[in-house]
Amino acid sequence: MCAHTPQCPTADSPDREAAQVVAAHPEQGWSLLCNALVIFEDTGELLPDNQVVAPHRPLAAATV
């Protein structure tokens, strides 16, 4: 699907979020990547096979 050089990572690779954005909708909180991955502003993902990846933001640093 990717026509970029170098080719974007596939949707099942660990670095899948590094693919290029082909459609951005920040007003709705999501973007479509070249590898057919939909990423959401809350860091959740929708894979091309309709699997959902829960948001995975890093935890905030603990305050003492």
**31 contacts 38 by C-beta, under 8 angstroms:** yes
What three-state secondary structure class fits 1? coil
Q: What is the mean pLDDT of the chain?
A: 88
For 3, half-sphere exposure in the C-beta direction (CA atoms, 13 angstrom radius) is: 1
Rg (CA), the chain: 13
For 10-26, the pLDDT digits (tens) are 999 999 999 999 999 99
User: What DSSP line would sit under 3-63, residue for residue?
Assistant: -SSSPPPPTTSTTGGGSPEEEEETTTTEEEETTS-EEETTS-EE-TTS-EE---PPPPPP-
All structural domains of the chain with their residue ranges: 1-56
Q: What per-residue confidence (pLDDT) applies to 21?
A: 95
